[in-house]
Chains A and B, each alone.
Chain A
């Protein structure tokens, strides 16, 4: 049940988006995937979701390279909208239910209720924060083994952030893993227990955060600054 990334490379022309990336995602953890824009976070997520082919190496799920089939175990929440604007909140759920056997409409309804998302409202008329909540509700209503969430808190207010974070904490269990990518470290600091730092398409660190606090007396934000030092942002 490990999602293994082994010596993954991805080149776009001459640009090396990922180079020699190796790390494991284990169940029972919530990971922060941290790094500046362009450090390779999204490329890695898309590769793990079998949406981007590796140039070399790659990502293995239960020992096999990820492919269209593994998407039934690995939920991916892209940072942009993935539903049609004419849909209502409720229809987004039905659309998801058609795609994924592990999707629970009951769970989706419950999450929409918690997040104060009106089911009959058209997605087109939702605010940025509401859309982010709708995306998160859809992703967290799946019973996946791995959840890959790309910047789920981008451009939203504190209350929406709390509601989305609660849906993640509610879903997290010893049987699944959650990976949250972000360039805003403070927003996820208390909810994650492991962190993987990307810098220039490489893994700069992979660590346990409570251990970091206990051993080095450092916060995740401190460590981020230390690792990204000298990096032009």
Chain B
């Protein structure tokens, strides 16, 4: 994974995992790699890897089962919620950049439709 090194890496790895959960690549109830494995997978510092799980836990996306490891929670609607949140974040930054180009909402909508039908 290529990082934007001016943004905290724990956020970037967290988002990458959330993307995999939202898309179903990682399923609810699935065991996640250990902190050490995560560090090696992404070539990140082990402390950063531990922080990724801390944050995902706080957000209710994963849980640590004592002695067993970290798992994606099996709550109904969690996957949907993560997908919705990520979609909104992406849309917000997309709109921000389109507006910075001087485009109106109407123009943005038109371009979106055209691109979708291509």
Q: Are B45 and A192 in contact (CB under 8 A)?
A: yes
**Contact partners of A218 in chain B: CB under 8 A:** 6
Interface positions, chain B 14-36, Cβ under 8 Å from A, are: 36
Alpha-carbon distance A167/B116, docked complex (angstroms):
46
- B side interface size, CB within 8 A: 18
Cross-chain contact of A191 among B7, B10, B36, B45 (Cβ < 8 A): B45
Which of B46-54, B82-90, B96-104, B107-115 lines the interface with chain A? B46-54
Whole-angstrom CA separation of A28 from B47 in the bound complex: 8
A126 CA / B54 CA spacing, docked (Å): 43
A219 touches B6 (CB 8 A): yes
Is B105 interfacial (CB 8 A cutoff)? no
Contact across chains for B6 and A191 when beta carbons are under 8 A apart: no
Most B-side CB within 10 Å, residue of A29, A162, A169:
A169
Within 8 A of B (CB), among A168-192: 169-170, 172-173, 186, 189-192
- Specify the chain B residue showing the minimal Cβ separation from A166: B40
**Known contacts A166-B40, A172-B46, A210-B48: A190-B3 contact under CB 8 Å:** yes
A191 touches B5 (CB 8 A): no
C-beta contact mask, A178-213 vs B, less than 8 Å → 1, else 0?
Answer: 000000001001111100000000000000001001
A222 to B48, CA, bound (A): 20
**Chain B neighbourhood of A17, CB < 8 A:** none
Q: In the complex, A189 Cα to B6 Cα: how many Å?
A: 10
Q: Select which of A173, A193, A220 is within 8 A of B48 by beta carbon.
A: A193
Q: Does B8 contact A (CB under 8 A)?
A: yes
Q: Give every chain A residue within 8 A of B48 (Cβ-Cβ).
A: 190, 193, 210
CB atoms of B47 and A190 under 8 A apart: no
- List chain A residues, Cβ under 8 A from B3: 189-190
Q: Is the CB of A219 within 8 A of B43?
A: no
Within residues 19 to 70 of chain A, which ones have a CB less than 8 A from any CB in chain B? 28-30
A-B contact pairs, 19 of them (CB 8 A): A28-B47, A165-B43, A166-B40, A166-B43, A169-B43, A172-B39, A190-B9, A190-B42, A190-B43, A190-B48, A192-B45, A193-B45, A210-B9, A213-B6, A213-B7, A217-B7, A218-B6, A219-B6, A220-B5
Interface set of A (CB-CB < 8 Å, partner B):
28-30, 162, 165-166, 169-170, 172-173, 186, 189-193, 210, 213-214, 217-222
